[in-house]
Every structure is written in C-alpha cells, then in structure tokens.
Amino acid sequence: MNPDLLAWLNLSIRWLHLTAGIAWIGASFYFVWLDNNLAEPDPPREGVKGELWAVHGGGFYHSQKYLNAPPQMPGHLHWFKWEAYTTWLSGFALLIVLYYWQAPIYLIDGARMALTQPQAILTGLGFILGGLAVYEAICRSPLGRNPRVFGVIWFACLTAATYALTHIFTDRGAFIHVGAIIGTAMVGNVFIVIIPNQTKIVKTMLAGGTPDPRLGAMGKQRSVHNNYMTLPVLFIMISNHYPMVTSHKLAWLLLAMLGAAGVSIRHFFSLRHFGKVRMEFLFYAFMLIYTTAVISAFTGAPRGPARDVSFSEARAIIDKHCLACHSATPTHKGIPMAPNGTSYDTTEEMVKYAPKIFERAVASTSMPLGNETKMTDQERADLGAWIKAGAKTQ
C-alpha cells in the first residue's frame, strides 16, 4: 500500500476511534453519575427507584429509574450500544493497520522474541481473546460476586499479562495489547451481558410477563466494572507519547501503578456522586503517580560507563541508528517522512533535537523502533553523555 494512503487510513481510523470513544465514555460516565445521584421520588411512585431533576442548555430534565422495568413499555426506547461497538471496531481496525499490517516495524522486537509476522499477530490475538475468556470466567465464578476480590484478581491478571507482553513485543506493541485486552472486556460487557439482558427484559415485558431482576443486576455489575477500567485504558491510549513509562525496564510495574492510580481517582469521583468526599483516594493516586515518576527517573538510565564523547562519535551513532527514519529522505520501508517532522541530517538539527533524542533513545529504549538496528546500551550511554555535556559540535 502507498505509504501516504496508509498514513491517511491511520489518521481516519484513529479519528473515528477517538470520537466514538468520547461518546462511549461520556455516556458511561454520565449514567454512573446519574445512577449515583438519584433521590427517592417525592411523592413515592410504584416501581420508581429514584429520580433526578437537572438543568442544562436552558432546559429542565426529569430522569426516573425503575427498580425493574416500567409498567408499560414506551413507544420509543433508546439503546446505548453503538458508541461502544464503534469504539471497539475502530480500535481493532487501527490495531490491524498499524500493528499487524506493519508488525515488523511496530510490533516485533527480535531482541525479545524472534517472531514471524503471522506468529506475532496470532500471539496478540491470543492475549486479547484469552484475556476476555479469563475475565468472563472470573465474573461468572463465585469470586465475581465480591467486587473487591474480583478487582484484585482481575488487576493481578492484567499485570501478569503486561509483564508477559513487555517481554514479547515492542514497548508500544505491548502496551497497546494490554489496552486491547481491557477494551475488549469492556465492550464484551456491553455485547455479551448488558444489551442481551436488556433485550430479554424488553421481550418479557412485551409478552406481558415480569422481568427477572437478576438480569438488571448483572448488567449493573458489568457497568460498574467498565466505570473503573476506563481511566487505565485511556492512559494506555496516550502512553506512546511517554517513553519514560513504555520503554522503562520495569514498564509492566509502572503501568500497573498508573492503572491503580486511575482506579483510585475514579473511585473518588464515584463516591463524590453520593456526596461522600474521600480525599484519601486522591492522595493514594498522587502517591502512586509520584512513586511511578521516582522509579522511572532513578532506574531507567541505560547501562554502560559514561565517558567523554566527541561530536563525530555521536554523529556516527545517529547515522547508524536514526537516519533511516529521521531524515528528509527516509530509507526505512513504511516510513514515508520523518516521524513528527524531526530529521537529524544536519549538525544543526542534531543539536536542536538533542533533548528529544535523549528522551527517546537514551532515557528510554523506544527508539529505534523494536531496536531493529541493535543499538547497544553503551551506544545509548555514549549518546547520552554527549547530550548531557551540552551537545557540543567541537
């Protein structure tokens, strides 16, 4: 495929994924807030569990939630499902276009595991589908009835998957597959449980029967799970911009800690909906993020003794490991133009982008992609020494 067309396809799918994700998360967060802010109806009405008056956009809204179902099915009923389906479908399409189609560039790291392209794709799909199977098994077991126990076990499973993936794929490829596992579990909740159960409730009512309250309770359980998984998966979506996390030798631990911070933040707001201000959960999140930053800063430097490095030595390292992509005329297959417009052809460009080079190739190992040029720890240390000494050209 023409590289330019591939880039535009990437952009189009990513834009759709972002838009659909905003719609899904916005609706999800709103209904969690709505459910937590319902008050006893005044005067009491049969079957109505709670109600809420709200004002927005110059108008007043009156929302009511029925304990099981309304006495009579309304003529028009809106189903919140396509936001979730579109988010997952576009995300999976992006996974195919960026990571599976271009697996040798973005997914396979031969230094970690020498996989062929088909093997890498099957491994990624195995983790995604396996993650969904494990999630469903835990939810449907007695462990799933205890929210705290379930949360700990599912968190441990995700952490174990992250550890394994960071030892198989590239940094970005590993993180995006953890996000795909979580996102698939979330959309599975909608597709496998929430919508089918709501469909059964509607059919029962149309037939004149009384819906099974357990169907609604199961949907509520999965909705709560999605509420807490949202912030961790959002971080993963933007994580490729932060190589000090994705490319750290303890990346699996850093992601686990940042994910736990996201859960803690979300729990604070969930409690806040009930009028309970529990500031300690924000404190826990802050401490997790702070500790993650400390670990990243003090344990992420590449190995190799530092020494005085000349410009010519630094130039040779850049030429060998960076210019295939970061050039006005890239020679790397599948890279039609310098990523982010940063090229290192000239001395001036090398000096100008020295901080970015340090971030991507010294403080982390995110570049070269998949370390396909076999950049050594000593080369990274040498390049870092040149930059720290002021990126001098003389």
| Region for 278 from its dihedrals, namely left if φ exceeds 0, alpha if ψ lies in -120 to 50, beta otherwise | beta
- Report the pLDDT value the prediction gives residue 5, as an integer from 0 to 100: 79
- Report the pLDDT value the prediction gives residue 1, as an integer from 0 to 100: 56
The two three-digit tokens of residue 240, written as one number? 């490729």
- Report the pLDDT value the prediction gives residue 132, as an integer from 0 to 100: 97
pLDDT tens digits, 35-59: 888 888 878 877 788 888 889 888 9
Find which of 141-150, 267-276, 330-339 is predicted with most confidence, using mean pLDDT. 141-150
pLDDT tens digits, 268-304: 998 888 888 999 999 999 999 999 999 888 876 555 5
Residue 99 to residue 168: CA distance in whole angstroms: 14
The two three-digit tokens of residue 157, written as one number? 């499973």
- Report the pLDDT value the prediction gives residue 45, as an integer from 0 to 100: 79
The percent of residues in the chain predicted with pLDDT above 70, rounded, is 96
More confident residue, 73 or 134: 134
Residue 30 to residue 10: CA distance in whole angstroms: 30
- Report the pLDDT value the prediction gives residue 301, as an integer from 0 to 100: 56
- Report the pLDDT value the prediction gives residue 319, as an integer from 0 to 100: 87
Average pLDDT over the chain, rounded to an integer? 87
Mean pLDDT throughout 314-332? Answer: 87
DSSP run (H or E) holding 290: helix 280-299
Sorting pLDDT into bands at 50, 70 and 90, what band is 156? very high
pLDDT tens digits, 69-103: 777 777 788 888 899 999 999 999 999 998 999 88
Mean pLDDT throughout 127-131? Answer: 97
Q: Which residues contact 237 (CB under 8 A, 6 or more apart)?
A: 21, 179
Q: Which amino acid is at 374?
A: K
- Report the pLDDT value the prediction gives residue 71, as an integer from 0 to 100: 74
Sorting pLDDT into bands at 50, 70 and 90, what band is 18? very high
- Report the pLDDT value the prediction gives residue 361, as an integer from 0 to 100: 79
Whether the predicted pLDDT of 305 surpasses 80: no
Q: Which residues contact 190 (CB under 8 A, 6 or more apart)?
A: 81, 84, 85, 222, 226
Sorting pLDDT into bands at 50, 70 and 90, what band is 352? confident
Half-sphere CA count of 227, side-chain side, radius 13 A:
24
DSSP conformation letters of 54-97: EEETTEEEEEEEESS--SS--S------HHHHHHHHHHHHHIII
DSSP reduced 3-state for 106? helix
Sorting pLDDT into bands at 50, 70 and 90, what band is 169? very high
The two three-digit tokens of residue 132, written as one number? 């969904």
Find which of 33-42, 126-135, 315-324 is predicted with most confidence, using mean pLDDT. 126-135
- Report the pLDDT value the prediction gives residue 181, as an integer from 0 to 100: 97
More confident residue, 340 or 199: 199
- Report the pLDDT value the prediction gives residue 32, as an integer from 0 to 100: 85
Residue carrying structure tokens 């509520």: 220
- Report the pLDDT value the prediction gives residue 306, as an integer from 0 to 100: 59
pLDDT tens digits, 362-380: 877 778 877 778 888 888 8
Tell me how far CA of residue 351 lies from CA of 244, 256, 306, in angstroms.
Answer: 21, 35, 20
DSSP run (H or E) holding 383: helix 377-388
Which stretch of 8-12, 31-35, 40-44 has the lowest confidence by average pLDDT? 40-44
- Report the pLDDT value the prediction gives residue 302, as an integer from 0 to 100: 54
Find which of 53-62, 163-172, 243-252 is predicted with most confidence, using mean pLDDT. 163-172
The percent helix, strand, coil of the chain (3-state, each to 5) is 65, 5, 30
The two three-digit tokens of residue 70, written as one number? 């309304």
Task: Report yes or no: 181 and 233 within 8 Å, Cβ to Cβ.
Answer: no
- Report the pLDDT value the prediction gives residue 247, as an integer from 0 to 100: 83
